[in-house]
Structure 1
Amino acid sequence: MTKTNKTGRWRLTKYALMGTSALMTAMGTQAAYAQDAETDEDTEVITVTGVRAALQTARNTKREADTFVDSITATDVSQLPDLSVAEALARVPGVVTQRFELGGSDGDFPSPEGSGNIVRGLQYVRSEFNGRDAFSANGGRALEWASIPPELIGAVEVFKNQTASMIEGGLAGTVNLRTLEPFDRNDRIAVVVADTIYTDQAEEWSPGLSVILGDRWETDAGEFGLLGSFSTSELQSSINGFQYGPLLAVPNPDAPGTTMALPGGWQARDAEIGRDRDSFYVAGQWRSNDGDMELTLKATRVENTVQTDERTIEFFTDAESWAAWSILEDSSSRNIIPFTSAGIPRCSGAGEAANGGIGICENLIPIDGGLMESGVVSNNLRDWLGQTGNLQTPLQSLAIAQTNESVTQDFSANFQWRVNDRLYIELDGHYTDAEATLERLWAGGNHFADYRFDFSDTENPEIELFLSDSVRLADWGGTFRGADPGVLGDLADPRYAFLLYAADQFEDNTGDLYALRGDALYEFDGDGWFDSVEFGARFSQREQTNRNAGLNWGGIAPPWAGGYLPYANRADAGAYDVADFSGFQGGGVFLGDITSIVFPSRMQMQDYEAFVNSLANEPLIASGPNGDGNLQIGDWVPLRQNGMVDYVNRGSEGSVREETTNLYAQFNYGQEFSNGQSVSGNFGLRYVRTETTGGGIASFAEMAEDNPADPLQPRDFLPETAAFLDQANTANTIDASYEYFLPSFNLRWDLNDEMLVRFAFSEAIAPADIAALNSNQATIAELGYVVDDTATPPVISDIVLGALRVYGGNPDLNPVESTNIDLSYEWYFGDDGLFSASLFHKDLSNIIVYGDETIDAVTLDGYTVPVIYSGNLNLNDGTVEGLELSYQQFFTQWPGLWGNLGVQANLTLLDSETTALPSVRDTEGDGVEGFLSVYRWEVSDLLGLSDTSYNLIGIYQDDRFEVRVAYNWRSAYYSSYRDFVTGNPILQDDIGFLDASFRWDVTDNLQFRVQAANLLDTQATARQEVDAAGQTYARSVFDNDRRFEFGLSYTF
């Protein structure tokens, strides 16, 4: 009999996609070529071209894989209108591109190119670069696929289950990017691609250029090959986003005695995003003349810079938001629609404590008087700003300048040796280092204007700003400034724009990893069930340092401190710009005469030192060295002093060192039967041991200094607690370890030459993000205030200690664990046809979520209280199961031009169940449930999981032309359990994108291409869950660019 898994070429790196088709089609060549240059009697030479070749290659990869695998080749990545690997992977069954950060405080702003991928509804995806560890220095474990240029790609494989020989970590899946190699091509190659991208909302053109050169030589010492590539690209994008605050409970002016819901503020966000990306790649290969040894060396460097300039007009009250509203008596413009609720939270997610204490925002207020969806709103409450004249709503103009820079380098060496006809050895080593920095600067001003709103169509909101009396505020000397009373102001007039605050934030993260691996394969002789055995060992060491400082907010000239400063009075005439919002989201959002507003200068915002110096040299702003010798401007002490950021004293600096040892053994088996059927597969066991050392600082939040003039200071009531918190910061090092034995079993049952059934079982793990393992931890005291209600007015009679709470990293986090089962039916028909149906089930445990754990107890001031850790913990379990359907075919049997048509389609259906996070918690450890930092409404869905997603792609290809139209859709999913602004869970709505591409082979060497993305100009909308019944209200609506790429490629 014939061994079913014997290959014509030995190569321990499994499932290697034949690089020639990937290389040539990716760079736009039109010549036919062979997939493998080797002369071997077992190798079939197949001539393939274009997209049909790519689909055929991906199909064959799926069929021959020894576990569940889907893939795309370079043709798919460059042919589809996708600017990064992250977007291209969305075409793979079960994979979706994530455009919003999940769970983070900034998770409500989308990425213009996609920020990552989710496989089968889960975030626990391992990323690999040529089968090796790959990561970005952002604190996570995954490579930022959006930063990888398509020009580097030979193929991308998505493994959806495990074998023992695979590196652990891909609980949801493993995404492996394979780069081009010199031996992928029979002879010399030289290709140049030049393109430009137009984005319609930004109205910008962005150039790109890539070059690839390669050759191979035969010598007496063996065959040598060398290949190198360089690519550079830019992208200018624009994102307009309108966001809604939480619903607030206010009296209904049209039905006294009832309470209605009112949209509690809004934001209009205009962001311009510029991305510059450069990549450098070189690969060298050597093969002995007898073909028994092969050496491959690779080096890669990717540089990515993203500059974001955002301008936002917003109105969100910063305290007592439930009381800060005045519904002006203009019933003709007011519309209240029916709406009832058993209870919506009193206020926002910022944890407002004024006039009520911690948890006041979580008090539920019943709604029986409807929802106000249009009307005129003003400010009803005293304002910290101290203005005179009409007490209008305090609008803010916020400017944000942010720069993200990252550099990732990877160096690898791989040696393969065929010792004899049965024994193969592979040695592999690689080193990766990564850097990632963030610089973010905020500057805000205040304006005063009432507004009319119409949110009857939340996807097309309307705002009209208007002024009555001019608003005047007092400067440092107590003089009221501004226009004369009774004179109408203008928000574009710098006399009515009041400089308020600044904030900054810095991150500086570095990481490196080296790994050594040795593998061996021994083939058995004879016709038994066992074909071969693989075994090997691997050691890796990763070190990561994360430094973070900010967000560091400080008042510059706050009116409540007597520091009113209009921009018109600035000594620096270039300190401000005027931005026009009349065209925001295509126009129609801002109506009326007032559509322009003063903002801090964009040019200054892009230069941190220029911005700081401008403020420091302003004679009307109090500035100078503070007690620590640092420059202080108003109340703001910039983080960067003399070009340096003190992360230790003004932020956090944590390090993690992680060492992992692996051993594995895997048996490969196969057997053919007399009825034409056969079985093959593998089973094995992988051992994992990881030792982690988390380094950081243990800090203590000191109580306020004693003030003799105020007898109600916590130090007066709790001297022992105060002394405990006065202790000095200390180094904090925590060691932890874990080990696992991970079994796997894979079976492929070939029913005939076209059909097969596949089954897989495995146990998998996904380690926590490495940044979460640092040991930076801060301890604070939670206090309770005892009020004497018998006094008039009531007074605080005692301050008691409720708990000590520790915040920060957790080196003791264990990996998320999963048991995975897959079953599929696959039908391969014709040269490129495919139909498959796959069922899968995952049992998850040790899911990492934010929560509380009592870790100790302490007695201070006569109170024995718990010490509670608040942070990432292994607290949750869950299941995910689903169905994947895939179909592809070219209709070559149809007559004429119809025979050039093809189709790709896939559908993924998911169902999940997990323990709902609690909506209340015992925040003081006293057995009484409180509301601090709660998750509202006990959502049981996993973040990022869409129940349904599908792709539908139509294809036309003949000898000269290639057209592809692709539609990608996913259903709603949760992006956050608790949004910072609203406090509510956020649900991203269903969304679909239509893309297209066109290629024309002008000559055998020259190709012209056009690619278009987001042809339908799709809006990304989201909702917030406002009550326990699951009722929702709008949270955001975002408009992204449509992108059009025009390019030429020439093959020499």
Structure 2
Amino acid sequence: MKRAPLFLLSSATMALVIAGAMPAAAQDAPAATAQDAPATAAQDAPAAGTAAQVNPGADIAPGPAAPQTPTAPQSPEGGQDQQAARAAPPAGYAAQGDDGDIVVTGFRQSLSSAQALKRDSDSIIDAIVAEDIGKLPDNNASEALARITGVQVNRSNDEANGVLVRGLPDLTTTFNGREIFTAENRGVALQDFPAGALAALEVYKSGTSNLIEPGLAGLINVRSRRPFDFDGLEIAGAIRGTYNDQSNKYDPNGNLLISNRWETGIGDFGALINFAYTQSHYRNAVRYDEAFVRTPVGDLGTTDDDLPVTTPGVGNAFAFPGSIGNYYSRGKRWRPSINGSLQWKPASNLEIYADGLWQAYRGEAANEWFNANLERASVDGVRPTLSNVVLVKGEPNKAASLTKTGGYPAEMYRSTNNDRTDTYQGAIGFVWSVGRAKISSDFAYTTSTYTASEYSLDSQFTSAPTVNAAFDVKGSVDYDLNGYDAQNPANYAWRGYYERRYKAKGDGIQWRADVDLATDFAVLPSIQFGVRYVDRNSSLDQGNRYANTSTLGIPLASLPSGALETVTDGFRSDTLPGFQNWLMPSRSNIRENFAGLQQASIAALTQLAAANPTDAGIADNLARFQTAIIPLDPLGGFTAAEQTYAFYAQGKYELTVGGLEIDGTFGVRAVNTDGRYSGFQRSVDAAGVASIDPITNKQNYLDILPSANMRIKFTPKFQARFAYTETRTRPTFGQLNPGATVTFNSQTSGGQTTGPDGQPLFNAFITRGNPNLQPLTSNNFDATLEWYFSKTGSLTGAVFYRDLYGFINTYTNPVENFEGLGRVQLTQPENAGAGKVKGAEIGVQSFFDFLPGFLSGFGGQANVTYLDGTNELPSALGEQAPIVPITGVSKWTYNLTAFYERGPISTRLSYNRRSQYVNSFNRNVNEEQYAGETTRAVERLDYSLAYTPFKNLTLTADINNILATPFNNYRNYNATQFFPRDVREEGRYYSLGARFRF
């Protein structure tokens, strides 16, 4: 590690600066510059985007300037001047400015400040600025970002938990301009930032050379408040209670900010601390058709593999989903956080600061799964019979409904998860104006740890129920069990017990130094240059064990987990009828009696080992249960150490051509990445002896990233921008992991001979990283037209083009004769081929100030984004590199907001819609092509109301997700036909609260 020299350099430099501070400088210095653990389900999730995402736990001057004197945003590295904000009165009130003008406040101030950031930035930027302390328009940063032009979000478990900018997820995330990350990831989960802790969210869609390297999608900076934002003592906060109509739970949320500044004998000093807490209960309900589609015809070419069909005239070539079922996710999550800041101005040209952040996530979840297989044979090898088959009219060989009799019993599990994240960041720095130069430096240390534990209990019916299934009813399957008594505990047998532990850690230092130098050249008024060093470490340790007890017939109710309870669903009353509820032990009984379940597993595996003395898989599982603590799996862990060295030089130019004012920046950033990534792999020698061996991969590469930005001012209110940038996005540490996790297939009971792809069962399932991954590269072109017709009114448009190469996605592929294991299913990330994203954005916002009286309080915002993104599938998949849509990209995204603000009343109604998008590509059964799984259009309607009866108190009421529109996924199984994949329902949130400020 190279930390000590850098820290000493930073400290020594700061001491020199303090000693040399020059009070005679002409102006005051500006405000101080500051700079997905995997899903937990042990078994199959019903669809991409449905399972819970457990890993939450992805230099800006403080505060917007007063609206009548807007200032440019400060870039997160080596920024521009920005004036500290004054405290704003509550929404709906106006203040008298020094020049006698009326200063807009409340939501008008929010629009004005965000508009000023966009208009005066060196790059193409959009922002949301909190209209008052503790008041962004949503619960967390991810939800708020969905309102911004060109931003899309993915949602699950009642919150936005994935952010895409112009269709791309590869973002750099910063907090007050410093890079921030969670555990082993390169980014942070933006939903972990409570709205009450934030001053603004800034989305950089094009970069400048002095900006920390953006991802392909750009950079999102989360900005908090600092003490010099305020004139003196400030105490402000909010408290709110929420209710989710699907979980039927109430939750508290709140924040408290205390800030003060003092004139002392050694200069101006300020201190701020902000506490925030958010909590939510969620409950989602899913009904699904399995992704794999099959026909009654046997895949091995033998009649023993055929499914009997008794319905006359339908043949045996029709397609149907291989299984159907329900999936319910429910849980509680809470996020406490504290951030603080100290600012000291010992001289008018010097400012020194220190910042700190603790951000945490806590989660408790239970995921419920029920699966009825429609094609798997019974324990004694007898295939099920299909009857009452009805085909879809007008579509060849597609089943609309059928009845399944016999075959394998239905299966279920209850997976219980506890997880937590703790992220800490501390920083010190200074800004020093001396002569022509402004010198700044910042040193920060970040450490983050994520831990998770999972106990999952599996069961099955003691016999196979008759299943009546209709595959497309209201967007999903509708089925029943033909009178089977699912409420009788005697009908349940123990199928297995699974445990997992997971710990990911990351830490790192970052240091930068920047110089902004004024020149004597009118055309080139300033040049900027700087250096940045980052040293990152990342590690992952995990282990799991599983006892498969399905052949023993042990009653589920006899286990130490106690009595069975009804698994309740989260469906609304107006949704699908049919089967919804079954029995399982409670979540608390599973977690509190894990030691007893471990002993029951040992007893069951001992019995199986005695009956199957040559089965290495049973022996291995029994050995894993011999210790109370889950043994670590070396194949599932990795360590990574990476250093990056960056240097940039940039010039700012200004000129007049033909009466037009033109300005902008041009520059280059050079970044060297030196990484070492280590893990373990399973090897088999010539004699067939397996061993686990360490493996290390090294990468060292240099990126030269030019950028050029131009702004043309046709009038003071009308301008155009043009930008060209090159960006690189490094693969994540987990994606570069050279090791592999090997899970041997124990699904040999019941006469099962084929997998869902119609081929012989896989010997093992392997998930690994790919040390040969290359950074994603992109050449980016942007152009905008911007008309700012009032302080709160603008009409803007943009077109953009991204020329991509190497987009990374994870693919699952059958591989023959893999490293001595025979036929395996391999899942690993791959670089795709060439791709492109092109699109356009249009946005408008304004208050209707031209209307008389109370009508002038009305206003609105609207924006629309069009995207067209395609890329080649990876050549490693054996394809001829077909061109397919980029996953996660919706062609159209709309945001519409109507608002009213006058006197003590402020109210908003916001509508968001994104069109359908492909969420994944999977290989079809018995085919060599990949087909997409599509999420249908998603829409959302939110309402908020604020009433300020007194100057220092505002009462609030909100309704989120008013429409509660279900999510629908569809699975294409050939070029023109599809089955519904699933339908997912999420809750509405109602909240009441109050904000105060003194």
| Normalised TM-score (structure 1) | 0.78
Taking the aligned partners of 1:638 and 1:273, their CA distance within structure 2 comes to 33
Taking the aligned partners of 1:461 and 1:866, their CA distance within structure 2 comes to 33
> Deviations 1:162-205 (Å, cap 9, x if unpaired)?
11101113221100011110000111111231111100011110
1:145 to 190, 205, 221: 190
Q: What's the CA shift for 1:896?
A: 2.1
2:548 aligned with 1:555, yes or no? yes
2:702 aligned with 1:754, yes or no? no
**1:758-777 pair list within 5 angstroms:** 758-777=721-740
Determine if contact 1:79/1:997 at 8 Å carries over to the other structure: no
> Deviations 1:741-793 (Å, cap 9, x if unpaired)?
111000011111110010101111111112222332579999xxxxxxxxxxx
Determine if contact 2:276/2:337 at 8 Å carries over to the other structure: yes
> Deviations 1:919-943 (Å, cap 9, x if unpaired)?
9639xxxxxx9xxxxx9xx561111
Taking the aligned partners of 1:866 and 1:262, their CA distance within structure 2 comes to 26
Q: What's the CA shift for 1:642?
A: 5.0
Q: What's the CA shift for 1:894?
A: 0.6
2:107 aligned with 1:51, yes or no? yes
Q: Secondary structure at the match of 1:303?
A: strand
Q: Secondary structure at the match of 1:520?
A: strand
Q: What's the CA shift for 1:950?
A: 1.1
Q: What's the CA shift for 1:525?
A: 2.6
Q: What's the CA shift for 1:261?
A: 2.4
Taking the aligned partners of 1:607 and 1:623, their CA distance within structure 2 comes to 26
Taking the aligned partners of 1:578 and 1:781, their CA distance within structure 2 comes to 33
2:572 aligned with 1:579, yes or no? no
Aligned amino acid, residue 716 of structure 2: D
Taking the aligned partners of 1:674 and 1:859, their CA distance within structure 2 comes to 69
2:482 aligned with 1:466, yes or no? yes
Q: State the partner residue of 1:312.
A: 369
Taking the aligned partners of 1:263 and 1:765, their CA distance within structure 2 comes to 41
Q: State the partner residue of 1:665.
A: 649
2:802 aligned with 1:817, yes or no? no
Q: State the partner residue of 2:939.
A: 992
Taking the aligned partners of 2:844 and 2:675, their CA distance within structure 1 comes to 45
2:436 aligned with 1:453, yes or no? no
Taking the aligned partners of 1:209 and 1:606, their CA distance within structure 2 comes to 30
2:437 aligned with 1:423, yes or no? yes
1:603 to 565, 577, 588: 588
Aligned amino acid, residue 573 of structure 2: G
Aligned amino acid, residue 752 of structure 1: T
Taking the aligned partners of 2:741 and 2:900, their CA distance within structure 1 comes to 61
Taking the aligned partners of 2:966 and 2:420, their CA distance within structure 1 comes to 28
Determine if contact 1:584/1:590 at 8 Å carries over to the other structure: no
Taking the aligned partners of 2:612 and 2:554, their CA distance within structure 1 comes to 25
**1:339-354 pair list within 5 angstroms:** 340=395
2:857 to 890, 893, 900: 900
Q: What's the CA shift for 1:403?
A: 2.0
Q: What's the CA shift for 1:546?
A: 1.4
2:498 aligned with 1:510, yes or no? no
Q: What's the CA shift for 1:609?
A: 2.9
Q: What's the CA shift for 1:210?
A: 1.5
2:623 aligned with 1:565, yes or no? no
Determine if contact 1:29/1:1050 at 8 Å carries over to the other structure: no
Q: State the partner residue of 1:716.
A: none
Determine if contact 2:28/2:349 at 8 Å carries over to the other structure: no
The verdict on how the C-alpha distance between 1:443 and 1:779 changes in structure 2, with shifts beyond 3 A counting, is closer
Q: What's the CA shift for 1:493?
A: 1.4
Taking the aligned partners of 1:209 and 1:505, their CA distance within structure 2 comes to 34
2:530 aligned with 1:536, yes or no? yes
Taking the aligned partners of 1:490 and 1:577, their CA distance within structure 2 comes to 14
The verdict on how the C-alpha distance between 1:404 and 1:410 changes in structure 2, with shifts beyond 3 A counting, is same
Taking the aligned partners of 1:462 and 1:545, their CA distance within structure 2 comes to 44
Determine if contact 1:672/1:679 at 8 Å carries over to the other structure: yes
Q: State the partner residue of 1:829.
A: 789
Q: State the partner residue of 1:205.
A: 250
Taking the aligned partners of 2:776 and 2:877, their CA distance within structure 1 comes to 25
Aligned amino acid, residue 473 of structure 2: D
Aligned amino acid, residue 374 of structure 1: S
The verdict on how the C-alpha distance between 1:850 and 1:577 changes in structure 2, with shifts beyond 3 A counting, is closer
Q: What's the CA shift for 1:335?
A: 3.7
Q: Secondary structure at the match of 1:899?
A: helix
Q: State the partner residue of 2:15.
A: none
Q: Unpaired runs of 5+ in structure 1? A: 1-5, 100-109, 342-366, 384-393, 468-488, 703-719, 783-801, 923-928, 930-934
Taking the aligned partners of 2:391 and 2:827, their CA distance within structure 1 comes to 42
**1:656-805 pair list within 5 angstroms:** 656-672=640-656, 675=659, 677-700=660-683, 721=686, 723=687, 725-726=688-689, 728-777=691-740
Q: State the partner residue of 1:709.
A: none
Aligned amino acid, residue 782 of structure 2: D
Q: Unpaired runs of 5+ in structure 2? A: 1-25, 34-58, 67-83, 297-308, 746-761
> Deviations 1:550-576 (Å, cap 9, x if unpaired)?
4x43313x23xxx212235x1648242
Q: State the partner residue of 2:52.
A: none
Q: Secondary structure at the match of 1:606?
A: helix
> Deviations 1:177-236 (Å, cap 9, x if unpaired)?
111100001111112311111000111100122211010000110000000011222101
The verdict on how the C-alpha distance between 1:638 and 1:91 changes in structure 2, with shifts beyond 3 A counting, is farther
The verdict on how the C-alpha distance between 1:315 and 1:870 changes in structure 2, with shifts beyond 3 A counting, is closer
Q: What's the CA shift for 1:279?
A: 0.4
Determine if contact 2:832/2:874 at 8 Å carries over to the other structure: no
Aligned amino acid, residue 676 of structure 2: T
Determine if contact 2:602/2:626 at 8 Å carries over to the other structure: no
Taking the aligned partners of 1:215 and 1:882, their CA distance within structure 2 comes to 46
The verdict on how the C-alpha distance between 1:727 and 1:323 changes in structure 2, with shifts beyond 3 A counting, is closer
Q: What's the CA shift for 1:978?
A: 2.2
> Deviations 1:895-946 (Å, cap 9, x if unpaired)?
1221101110111001123214569639xxxxxx9xxxxx9xx561111111
Taking the aligned partners of 1:456 and 1:777, their CA distance within structure 2 comes to 38
Determine if contact 1:616/1:633 at 8 Å carries over to the other structure: no
The verdict on how the C-alpha distance between 1:264 and 1:458 changes in structure 2, with shifts beyond 3 A counting, is farther
Q: State the partner residue of 1:161.
A: 206
The verdict on how the C-alpha distance between 1:534 and 1:869 changes in structure 2, with shifts beyond 3 A counting, is farther
2:480 aligned with 1:501, yes or no? no
Q: Secondary structure at the match of 1:605?
A: helix
Q: Mean Cα displacement is larger for which, 246-255 or 167-176? A: 246-255
The verdict on how the C-alpha distance between 1:31 and 1:623 changes in structure 2, with shifts beyond 3 A counting, is farther
> Deviations 1:565-589 (Å, cap 9, x if unpaired)?
2235x164824223355x7443664
2:791 aligned with 1:844, yes or no? no
Determine if contact 2:795/2:842 at 8 Å carries over to the other structure: yes
Taking the aligned partners of 1:779 and 1:536, their CA distance within structure 2 comes to 46
2:969 aligned with 1:1022, yes or no? yes
Aligned amino acid, residue 554 of structure 1: A
Q: Secondary structure at the match of 1:495?
A: helix
Taking the aligned partners of 1:639 and 1:219, their CA distance within structure 2 comes to 64
Q: What's the CA shift for 1:260?
A: 2.1
Q: State the partner residue of 1:884.
A: 841
2:936 aligned with 1:948, yes or no? no
Q: What's the CA shift for 1:319?
A: 4.7
The verdict on how the C-alpha distance between 1:830 and 1:81 changes in structure 2, with shifts beyond 3 A counting, is closer
**1:603-622 pair list within 5 angstroms:** 603-607=588-592, 609-610=594-595, 612=597, 615=600, 622=607
Q: Secondary structure at the match of 2:774?
A: coil
Q: What's the CA shift for 1:154?
A: 1.3
Q: State the partner residue of 2:519.
A: 524
The verdict on how the C-alpha distance between 1:901 and 1:579 changes in structure 2, with shifts beyond 3 A counting, is same
Aligned amino acid, residue 400 of structure 1: S
Taking the aligned partners of 1:493 and 1:614, their CA distance within structure 2 comes to 26
Determine if contact 1:565/1:620 at 8 Å carries over to the other structure: no
2:540 aligned with 1:546, yes or no? yes
Q: Secondary structure at the match of 1:978?
A: strand
The verdict on how the C-alpha distance between 1:400 and 1:1048 changes in structure 2, with shifts beyond 3 A counting, is same
